[in-house]
Amino acid sequence: MTRILPFEQNRAASPRAIAGSLLLALSAFGCAAADDAALESPVQSPLAAEAAPASAAQTAPPALAECDDVYELRSHGATADSPYMVPAGSEIHPQVLLDAPWGSEKVQAIRWKPITDNKKVIHHWILYAGSMGMLTGWSPGDEDPPFPPEVGMDLPTGPRSLRFDMHYYNKTGTEAQPDRSGVEVCVVKGKNLRKYSAGIAGGLAGFSSVLAPANKRGHAVTGTCNVRTTQPVRFLTASPHAHRFARHMKFTLKKASGQEIVMHDMPFQFGEQGSYPLDPPQLIETGDVITTTCTYDNDTNKNITFGESTDNEMCFNFAIYYPKGAFSCGGGFGGLGGRSR
């Protein structure tokens, strides 16, 4: 069965609200808070929301055999006849509050499939469980793999329990651009609920520092996380995120025993980001140390600092893990504040 979500509210986020959303996500991952001034960026008011008609369900792709339901969530309630319009010359961060289309029923996501409509303007989006915790997100080239057979992700219930945070970049555009991006979620329920609930661990190396110094190539920023767990944890994926100056991302695990494991070590391109399955999933325990390293090339005369804008930079690495809530990170996953070498 495929259903379309009724979108309840569409509002513009203030710069401080954007910062608060990101910091809240980091807090949910076990990361320490930091000065949110580094996240401030100009925001313009988006257009009013429009409800998606039920007839849109006819265009949704067929459900996988293991799905009990498939829900298509479109940002801003956009339809083929009424897309969301991103103003010319703007960079905006509209937010949308959503009713859970499954009502009060307990469900688990077992697959997320991004719906990417207009790549000219969509920078990234994040779907949150209300004001707490990240559920999934998308940036160019990204698509989360399905969860293993014993793992699902618990979803919130009730009205206004979901929140889409969108980031559109049309600063160089001379015309408004339409967008109907969103996500398709495959869920299970009842007797098909899975044994383990997954969470997302994430953090960064370098928060308010200069990530890409002017006229410098091969500049690396690193950060470390001192792991604490309440029970053994399995990391399922690595998902690096940065912007246009990043060239390489590395994600390593040093076990308390001294063993070193490279979980991700690949060139990075802004338009080809992804979620990379760890094969096999990595066992994470108290005493382990996780290190994130981002490397940048900057041939301009301007220092590039951390920020939400496409014109700024980031150094993130996210990981889907289970069981949810068993992982925390002293000092921030990937290192809060970072250091350069």
Q: How many helices and strands in the chain, by DSSP H and E?
A: 1, 26
Q: In the block, which residue shows the tokens 């469900």?
A: 107
Set out the domains of the chain in order of their start, with CATH numbers.
Answer: 2-196 (2.60.120.310), 199-340 (2.60.120.230)
pLDDT over threshold 80, residue 287: yes
User: Strand pairing of 162-170 and 94-98?
Assistant: antiparallel
For residues 308-313, give the mean pLDDT: 81
The pLDDT confidence band at residue 205, using thresholds 50, 70 and 90, is low
| Closest to 178 (Cα-Cα) out of 114, 119, 91 | 119
Range scoring the smallest mean pLDDT among 81-90, 132-141, 261-270, 322-331: 132-141
3-state secondary structure 244-313: CCEEEEEEEEECCCCCEEEEEEEECCHHHCCCEEEEEEEEECCCCEEEEEEEEEECCCCCEEECCCCCCE
Report the C-alpha gap between 66 and 194 in whole angstroms.
Answer: 12
pLDDT for residue 321 is more than 80: yes
In contact, 10 and 49? CB cutoff 8 Å: yes
Count CA atoms closer than 13 A to 50's CA, side-chain side.
Answer: 12
Residue type, position 6, single letter: P
Inter-CA distances, 283 with 204, 235, 302, 332, 334, Å: 21, 7, 41, 19, 17
Cα distance between residue 341 and residue 335, in whole Å: 14
**What pLDDT digit, counting tens, does each position of 151-166 carry?**
999 999 999 898 888 8
pTM above 0.75, yes or no: no
Q: Percent of the chain having pLDDT more than 70?
A: 71
Where is average pLDDT lowest: 33-42, 105-114, 218-227? 33-42
Indicate whether 5 pLDDT > 50: no
* pLDDT tier, 249 (very low <50, low <70, confident <90, very high otherwise): very high
